[in-house]
Structure formats: C-alpha cells, structure tokens
C-alpha cells in the first residue's frame, strides 16, 4: 500500500509524510514477507519516514517454519520492533501497544 496512488500524482507515502503521524507497517505473515517488509521499510526511509513498529498479521491457523521465524528475522533485518501480531480470525487487538505511539 505504500506506493499506491491516491491520485495520479499523490501516493499513500506522500499522504503519510504530509500528515506527520507515526507509521506502522502491517505485514502479511507468509512466505515472502521478509522481502516485502525490507523493501517497504527501505522505501519508507527513502521518503524520510521511520516506521515506529510492525504488526504481523497471521493469515492462517497453522504457521509454517517461515511464518514462525519471520517476526524475529524482520526485527533483526530492519531494526523496527514488532509490536504485536494478530492471530488468524482474531476480531480485535489490545490498544496498549499503540497508545504510546499516538500520545495517549
């Protein structure tokens, strides 16, 4: 979603930068997530935005080896903390990992 156009000449990345709000990266936890995560964070940083954290979205009930290890490797690769993960089918998450990010 980072490079998705809102208008012809205005991207989600531009919108995030203009708002100046903290940016979280939501990662679909699957094979290939590490590449997606690294490329997206590199792009964020190239735009002058440092992501404050990541949320890993588990897309299935049973995790394979890649899905089990992705969170730790992503943190090591990027230096960006994983704040929480969402279990497949989970309806809501606790607010506590995000309250400090939004100044609440």
Domain ranges of the chain: 16-89
Euclidean distance between CA atoms 34 and 81, whole angstroms: 14
Euclidean distance between CA atoms 59 and 55, whole angstroms: 12
What pLDDT, on a 0 to 100 scale, did the predictor assign at position 36?
96
Per-run averaged pLDDT (10 residues), the chain, 104 residues: 92 93 92 96 95 91 90 97 82 64 57
Euclidean distance between CA atoms 82 and 55, whole angstroms: 6
Which residue, 55, 41, 44, 58, is CA-closest to 98? 55
What pLDDT, on a 0 to 100 scale, did the predictor assign at position 84?
86
Q: Under a CB-based contact definition with an 8 Å cutoff, are residues 52 and 22 in contact? A: yes
Which residue, 64, 2, 62, is CA-closest to 32? 64
What pLDDT, on a 0 to 100 scale, did the predictor assign at position 79?
98
What pLDDT, on a 0 to 100 scale, did the predictor assign at position 104?
46
């Amino acid at each position: 979603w980072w490079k998705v156009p809102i208008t012809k000449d205005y991207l989600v990345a531009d919108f995030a930068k203009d708002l100046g709000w903290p940016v979280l990266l939501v990662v679909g936890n699957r094979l290939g997530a590490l590449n997606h995560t690294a490329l997206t964070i590199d792009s964020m940083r190239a735009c002058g935005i440092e992501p404050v954290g990541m949320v890993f979205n588990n897309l299935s009930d049973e995790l394979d080896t890649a899905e089990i290890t992705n969170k730790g490797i992503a943190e090591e690769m990027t230096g960006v903390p994983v704040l929480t993960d969402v279990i497949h089918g989970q309806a809501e998450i606790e607010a506590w990992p995000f309250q400090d990010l939004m100044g609440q």
